């Protein structure tokens, strides 16, 4: 998961933005998308997001390839909802025994669109934010405790090691005559015991890492200084402002068009 094809150049526009500002964008869009159950609001949000992609320096080919599963998910959500609530509203589609009502299709589409409207900025932010920058920004802009942010970052660095460790444990067990073959119960048991061995190893290594971090003064209680300052620049405020305007605008249009339906009403 850490060797994914990069979605932007390292100096791409969105990659240079402050991670806290990017998290803010995701939050604002998500709030707008979940206030209402109509399909219009998420449609406007999604359209705005897709229009913004090229201006963010996103490589569109990579982006759409990464989003294939997401799109599949959204379509499935739409269809499942449309089918299970099929009889709601005036009949729209009639295919053999299948009757899909207008209301059902609209509700389903609204759900699928909301999922996309929230997920697209999420994917972009995740793929264009360096974990180190994110941790720095969490501490500096959002006042997260360094013990949490830097600790999580150190743990994140060890993730690729876990994959290699998993392979090694599996091979070591095979060498001992332990495999599961085709039996699903045996497979489940072997998976669980391999997972347990992996966790034990990870905890052991994590403890050693924590000791090494403390040895370098991480728990000293001295106020930490900042080696990599993260600032909210004009462009970061502008990005956050633009997202807020789009989010508010989408809701306003929906209210004006009379389609707005508050989620809790």
Partner 1 sequence: MASVELRGYGWRHAGRKARAVTGVDLRIGSGERVLLLGPSGSGKSTLLSALAGLLPEDSGEQTGELLIDGVEAVKARERTGIVFQDPQAQLVMARSGDDVAFGLENRGVDAAELWPRVDAAMAAVGFPYGRERETNALSGGEQQRLALAGVLASRPSLLLLDEPTANLDPEGAGQVREALRSVLAASEATMVLVEHRVAEVVDLVDRVVVLGEGGGLLADGPPGRVFAEHGDALTRQGVWVPGAPPVPERKAAGSPGETLVRADGVGRLHPGAAAPSLSDVDMAVAAGELVAVLGANGSGKSTLALMLGGLLRPTSGRVLLTGATAPPHKWRAPALARAVGSVFQNPEQQFVTSRVYDELALGPRRVGYDEAEVARTVGELLERLRLSPLAEANPFTLSGGQARRLSVATALATAPGLLVFDEPTFGQDRRTWTELVELIAGLRDEGRGVLAVTHDRDFTAALADRTVTIHEGRVAC
* Interface with partner 1 (CB under 8 A): 3, 130-132, 150, 153-154, 157-158, 160-161, 165, 168-169, 171-179, 181, 193, 197, 200-201, 205, 208-209, 211-218, 220, 222-229
d(CA 68, CA 48): 19
Question: 170 vs 259, which CB is nearer to partner 1?
Answer: 170
Q: Which of 84, 74, 66, 80 is nearest to 124 (CA)?
A: 66
Q: How far is the CB of 167 from partner 1 (least distance, A)?
A: 9
Q: What backbone torsions phi and psi does residue 102 show, to the nearest 5 degrees?
A: -60, -50
3-class SS of residue 4: coil
Smallest gap from Cβ 174 to partner 1, in A, equals: 5
Nearer to partner 1 by C-beta: 70 or 180? 180
262 DSSP β-pair partners: 36
CB of 239 to partner 1, least distance (A): 25
Q: How large is the greatest C-alpha to C-alpha distance in the chain, in angstroms?
A: 73
50: Cβ contacts below 8 Å, ≥ 6 apart: 120
Q: Which is nearer to partner 1, 62 or 213 (CB)?
A: 213
Query: How near is the Cβ of 61 to partner 1 at its closest, in Å?
Result: 19
Nearer to partner 1, 189 or 233 (CB): 189
């Amino acid at each position: 998961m850490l060797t994914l094809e990069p979605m932007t150049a390292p100096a791409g526009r969105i990659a240079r933005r402050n991670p806290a500002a990017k998290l803010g964008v995701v939050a604002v869009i998500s709030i707008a998308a979940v206030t209402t159950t109509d399909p219009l609001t998420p449609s406007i949000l999604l359209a705005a997001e897709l229009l913004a992609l090229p201006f963010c320096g996103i490589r569109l080919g990579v982006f759409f390839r990464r989003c294939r599963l997401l799109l599949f998910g959204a379509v499935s959500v739409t269809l499942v909802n449309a089918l299970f609530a099929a009889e709601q509203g005036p009949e729209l589609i009639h295919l053999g025994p299948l009757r899909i009502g207008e209301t059902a299709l609209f509700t389903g589409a609204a759900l699928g669109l909301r999922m996309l409207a929230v997920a697209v900025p999420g994917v972009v932010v995740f793929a264009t934010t360096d974990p180190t920058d994110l941790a720095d920004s969490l501490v500096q802009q959002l006042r997260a405790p360094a013990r949490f942010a830097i600790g999580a970052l150190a743990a994140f660095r060890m993730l690729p090691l876990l994959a290699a460790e998993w392979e090694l444990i599996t091979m070591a067990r095979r060498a001992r005559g332990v495999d599961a073959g085709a039996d699903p119960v045996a497979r489940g048991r072997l998976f669980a015991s391999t997972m347990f061995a992996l966790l034990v190893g990870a905890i052991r290594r994590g403890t050693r890492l924590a000791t090494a971090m403390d040895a370098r003064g991480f728990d000293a209680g001295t106020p930490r200084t900042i080696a990599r300052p993260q600032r909210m620049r004009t462009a970061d405020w502008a990005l956050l402002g633009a997202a807020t305007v789009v989010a508010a605008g989408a809701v306003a249009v929906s209210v004006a068009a009379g389609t707005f339906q508050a989620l809790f009403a």
